[in-house]
Amino acid sequence: MNRSAKKTEGREELDEMKPEYDFSAGEQGKHAHLFGEVSEDEALVGSFWRDKEMEAAKPGELVGGLRQDPIYNRISNAVHTAVKQLESINPDHDVFNILVLVNHDKAAKYADLVSVLTGYWDPLQGIIEKTHTQFSEGRIQAEKRKIDLYVWLKTASGGQLQLGYFFGNNQSVDSVSHLLNIDRSKVRMIS
């Protein structure tokens, strides 16, 4: 038993509910869930609450709450990290900054990169609705333009390579396109 919790059986309580353990002597900021295997215990508790919610839910009712899609955070983090690394080795931007993202996540797609960079839902399909501005106008707002070219690589079923380009720096589009023989008309830019 952890030193910050003590058994309270046999103690007279004025409250209706008598807790099995008294945590008042514990360290401030420490919680009972820290007494066991944290990750395993949290998963068990989460499963318990989800099961209770599912039993109590009416047909068609959403339970469990929503969470942010981690794909957008990963892309934003990749841009942020890459810019910091590129600034350290190419501080004067003497050569082009090219970020190649190799995707192994079956749920992630090139449109997710475009959404994070532009802030729009799916501009590739003409959906110009601001839904991802917390990323595009967040910490990568200025950083995303320091990348001259984004390259999205993903291996499709059958081993074929799927490829997507996206220009980040409006000033270098012509030079990068010429150098890499990229057809500019088929590549989006950050607007």
Does the residue 122 lie in any domain? yes
Same domain, 83 and 14: no
Burial of 121 (0-12, 13-18, 19+ CB in 10 A): middle
pTM of this structure: 0.62
The span from the CA of 191 to the CA of 174, in Å, is: 16
Same domain, 39 and 17: yes
Q: Position 111: which residue type?
A: A
Does the residue 61 lie in any domain? no
The conformation of residue 68, written as its DSSP 8-state character, comes to -
pLDDT at residue 146, rounded to an integer: 95
pLDDT at residue 149, rounded to an integer: 93
Does the residue 89 lie in any domain? yes
Does the residue 65 lie in any domain? no
- Whole domain around residue 173: which residue ranges? 70-189
- The count of domains in the chain is 2
Same domain, 49 and 76: no
Whether the predicted pLDDT of 34 surpasses 70: no
Does the residue 63 lie in any domain? no
